[in-house]
Structure 1
């Protein structure tokens, strides 16, 4: 879903306990095993820590450095741009897990874009929002498939 300043992935139900999905989500060194949107990530799970990523927004892999801004173990993690004064656009991505029962959870990824320049924000959303949405959905699907393999190996 795309609004004027937000991109939200499809909410997926994962047939694995939230604890397993959380462990996959914060095991940055193994992103290449499941995350086709962001197949490379390097970070320490600490507030303020940089997360150095390779992200594919349809132009091939590009470097992206953001900073972890929220850690709620088993529930949510967020990271965002450095947000220097005068930057026209700021973005924070939050990934949310909700336990549905002991063996299932849902996953949702939200990117909130804010900025001091409404025209720059509008132009960026027109150019990039669909690519971000597609990437987030690719990530959600990969997370689902990989976590379910771990939870119920064949």
Structure 2
């Protein structure tokens, strides 16, 4: 089975981990800071539906996923599959790590697996990586702006 891991750059945020976590959990305000997924709807219950509205380059796509993990304030994860898992599955993890009382680090990854994973990487890998870095920078700017108030 083919497996590929995409990740953002790790970004250090000059704000407490709780502040960054609260921003990640406030999906109703994603449009204020998140250019890659400006709209997300979910209730964060394990197994519940996540509707992601992602910008893949200039194209807006709706992706339906499922909540896999909510571990405050360290991990938010959701997954998807296309057809059977052997065709394509993906697990997105957004991780926060405390670097002290007033700093944290953010990293997001998406683990793709299945027969279609190489094609997804070829067609969309660079766009997704760029989008993940946009999320990381947007979270940093938004959390730091909130901390300076």
Q: Distance in 2 between matches of 1:41 and 1:141?
A: 18
Q: Distance in 2 between matches of 1:86 and 1:45?
A: 23
CA-based RMSD: 1.4
> Do 1:100 and 1:106's aligned partners in 2 also have CA atoms closer than 8 Å?
yes
Deviation string, structure 1 residues 87-112 (Cα, Å, up to 9, x no partner): 51100100000000000000000000
> Do 2:86 and 2:113's aligned partners in 1 also have CA atoms closer than 8 Å?
no
TM-score (norm 2): 0.93
Runs of 4+ in 1 over 6 A off after TM superposition: none
Shift of 1:124: 1.5
Shift of 1:60: 2.1
Equivalent in the alignment of 1:131: 127
Structure 2 gaps, min length 5: none
Structure 1 gaps, min length 5: none
Deviation string, structure 1 residues 8-55 (Cα, Å, up to 9, x no partner): 100000000000100000111110110000100111021111111210
Tell whether 2:136 aligns with 1:140.
Answer: yes
Shift of 1:65: 1.1
Q: Distance in 1 between matches of 2:84 and 2:44?
A: 26
Deviation string, structure 1 residues 107-137 (Cα, Å, up to 9, x no partner): 000000111x2xx221221111111100000
Equivalent in the alignment of 2:41: 42
Tell me the matched-pair count. Answer: 147
Shift of 1:84: 4.8
TM-score (norm 1): 0.91
